[in-house]
Amino acid sequence: MKTTTSVIIVGLFYVLLVWIYGGWVRDDHHASIKAPQAAQDGRSAVYKVTAYCPCEKCCGAFADGITASGALAKGKLIAAPKSIPFGTWIEIEGYGWAEVLDRGGSIKGRRLDLLFPTHQEALNWGVKYLEINLGD
Ligand SMILES: [Zn+2]
């Protein structure tokens, strides 16, 4: 019994360490520094927000791990229409702050696509309609 408990505790500690040193926490920190630069033109609108991962199902022939901006498809980032320049930081409810670094054939008009590390996490997000504020 005692051994089982300590194995569980060590396991949980490991998961926590992986989480802390993973990109998610670092990206949040990064975002909080750059966030004030996100102010663009005062647009606020409801966007259809979907999710994707770097896999072939999501990216097809573009599943090479590189985004349209040239940045690696990892951590948190957003695919947005060309009307939103690369480097724009957007806050998304349930996702947090992330940078626009990708494009997509179907990402036109009021559409955003959020990168997740796994296909399952992208499926879990599903489709959400969210109020997006592109600056004050
Ligand atoms: Zn996928």
Provide the CATH number for the domain around residue 122: 2.40.40.10
Q: Up-side HSE of residue 79: CA atoms within 13 Å toward CB?
A: 28
pLDDT at 135: 73
pLDDT confidence band for 4 (50 / 70 / 90) = low
The DSSP bridge pattern shows strands 96-102 and 128-134 to be unpaired
Ligand 1: centre distance to CA 73 (Å): 12
pLDDT over threshold 50, residue 63: yes
pLDDT at 13: 53
Ligand 1: centre distance to CA 57 (Å): 5
Arithmetic mean of pLDDT, 65-72: 96
pLDDT over threshold 60, residue 103: yes
Q: What is the pLDDT of residues 28-46, one digit of tens each?
A: 444 444 444 444 455 789 9
Ligand 1: centre distance to CA 28 (Å): 23
Ligand 1: centre distance to CA 56 (Å): 6
Mean pLDDT of the chain: 82
Short-list 95, 93, 59, CA closest to 77:
95
pLDDT confidence band for 3 (50 / 70 / 90) = low
Ligand 1: centre distance to CA 123 (Å): 8
Please name the residue ranges forming H helices in 1-136. 2-21, 23-34, 56-59, 119-125
Number of domains making up the chain: 1
Look at the block and give the residue holding tokens 């626009």. 100
pLDDT confidence band for 26 (50 / 70 / 90) = very low
User: How many angstroms separate the CA atoms of 121 and 40, rounded?
Assistant: 30
Ligand 1: centre distance to CA 116 (Å): 8
Ligand 1: centre distance to CA 16 (Å): 25
Look up the domain containing 99 and give its range.
2-134
Q: What is the pLDDT of residues 112-123, one digit of tens each?
A: 999 999 999 999
Ligand 1: centre distance to CA 11 (Å): 27
The DSSP bridge pattern shows strands 43-52 and 128-134 to be antiparallel
Ligand 1: centre distance to CA 119 (Å): 4
Tokens of 7: 């194995």
pLDDT confidence band for 6 (50 / 70 / 90) = low
